[in-house]
Amino acid sequence: MTDGSRVTDLIRKDHAWFRRQFSTLEQAHGDTPKVETLWADLAARLEVHAAAEEALFYPRLLKDDKDAVDDTKDAIGDHNQIRDAIRKAEASHIGDSGWWAAVKECYNANRSTTAARWHLPLAVLYAGEGARSPVNMDRTQSGDRIHAHVRPSLRLPIPN
């Protein structure tokens, strides 16, 4: 059990918040003032989250797992797609079809970066340097990874 203060726990909490926020945004369709507020919060948090992962999380991940280079490149590519979609939305009128198309692009890029492949690098960090064997992956019936169970053993330093 964790107390929720690990970097990986915070990342997971953010990803869950993003999923809820996109759902709430979709449910608010037609209520432009509400959509505008929801989107402003979501877009800002997506930007901060991506920057934090890139500045703090991925450098440590790459230090601990040299095999995570491809996953890291994919995630940063997803972050850039998210940023591009946010810019497209900012260039559109909130609530129009172009704006919703940009939000959908943002949602798809976010979904990609929070997909099952994302959990293995976190599991590697939890398990310790280069230790993939303690990671037990739960799988759907189709065999896709859905999440990892590992013993928490690593805390990333919190910058001052």
Q: How large is the C-alpha radius of gyration of the chain?
A: 17
Q: Which of 120, 122, 127 has its CA nearest to residue 145?
A: 120
The β-bridge partners of 137 are 148
Condensed to tens digits (0 to 9), the pLDDT of residues 45-84 reads 999 999 999 998 899 889 888 888 888 888 889 999 999 9
Contact 124, 107 (CB under 8 A): no
Report d(CA 108, CA 73) in Å as an integer: 17
Query: What's the number of CA atoms in the CB half-sphere (13 Å) around residue 7?
Result: 23
- pTM confidence score: 0.70
Task: Compare 31 and 124 and report the one with higher pLDDT.
Answer: 31
Condensed to tens digits (0 to 9), the pLDDT of residues 1-31 reads 456 567 888 888 998 999 999 999 999 999 9
Report d(CA 24, CA 21) in Å as an integer: 5
